Structure 1
């Protein structure tokens, strides 16, 4: 790893190396020593960037989340050219499009999604065994995912002149729980066509929780 890399670049390179090791041998293959050897740096360099394995695993989980949320946000590249996307039908269209953009990422990288669940399961197992620090990884992973989805949903509402009838974090948790089930089922049966029908139903169920925004909120949004 070149000495001219910034701290963020070093961390990103180490995270990608750890993900590659996990892809080959599962999370048990991810150690500070193994990541150092795979990346071609000293153990001290890895420990400089990540104090311990738990911190590295949190960064791995965040990277997996960003890979999905980044693809969904491509949806907004076309919003300004589609003023007809208003109201509940508009928000349904945006959420459906976001899911459509994100799903190919899942299909192209099934091992990444398996790692997402492996990280969570391992973390929860360690928490039950009496290691709360390790268990906090699952909490951090879920909170990060919920925050990303909630931000996406807030943008959808702003773009369509709508508001959420429930706290957006609660709707985001509902959407994520449903999506988790669909991803796990697809990992088992690889039924893409059946999954796409369920994704459409998920988009509709979430959109049904939207209402027309108060007049003052719409006016503020139009002035942005």
Structure 2
């Protein structure tokens, strides 16, 4: 394999190798030696691109969040069913369409979902005594997801003719917290039938935080 890749491409190659290792064996399986072997490069190449394992995990986290945000954005772009509806009913239809599309993406990326929780836990464990960059991973992850959710919820409110009874940021936090718990429970029991019913409930809870615009 050529060792003359541009720095950005080399970093991407190493992050991809690290993610493959982590999806199979968790963050604990990601070592400089293992990544070098997986990518087919020397230890020196890995050390040149990433000063430490923590720096590599930070890069992994950014890649994972980018993939999740891409799936989230694709879900938000799905047209809502029942476009003849208005007000709260249309809002609920839009929410449910997005949740179902997002669920489809989650269902096909089980390993990635587990890794997301593991990286979050890794970040929280390092927040007190580890490098600042690794301790801030979880905060950055949720901040970026909050931004996407706020934009989506504001667009839903505008299109359906409703307004939120709480600041949109608060509704976004609630929605993402519900989704977090929903995905984690599914990873534990893999009950697809219960999951489908819970999506309806989540849509109801979020829609209950809105009122028809005067």
TM range (shorter): 0.7 to 0.9
How many residues are treated as equivalent by the alignment? 212
Who is 1:168 aligned against?
Answer: 168
Task: Determine if contact 2:79/2:97 at 8 Å carries over to the other structure.
Answer: no
State the 1:150 CA deviation. Answer: 2.1
TM normalised by structure 1 equals 0.78
Counterpart residue number, 1:62:
62
| Aligned-pair CA distance for 1:77 | 4.6
Runs of 5+ unmatched residues, structure 2 = none
Judged with a 3 Å threshold, the aligned counterparts in structure 2 of structure 1 residues 15 and 87 are, in CA distance, closer, same or farther, namely: farther
Following superposition, the deviation at residue 94 of structure 1 comes to 1.5
Contact persistence 2:76–2:152 (CA under 8 A): no
* Gap runs ≥5 in structure 1: 215-224
Q: CA deviation at 1:74?
A: 3.0
Show the counterpart of 1:131. 130
The answer (yes or no) to whether the contact 1:33–1:43 under 8 Å persists in 2 is yes
Counterpart position of 1:158: 158
Provide the residue aligned with 2:187 in structure 1. 187
Aligned positions of 1:1-224 closer than 5 A: 3=4, 7=8, 9-43=9-43, 45-46=45-46, 49-75=49-75, 77=77, 79=79, 83-84=83-84, 86-128=86-128, 130-131=129-130, 133=132, 134-213=134-213
Q: State the shift of 1:82 in Å.
A: 7.0
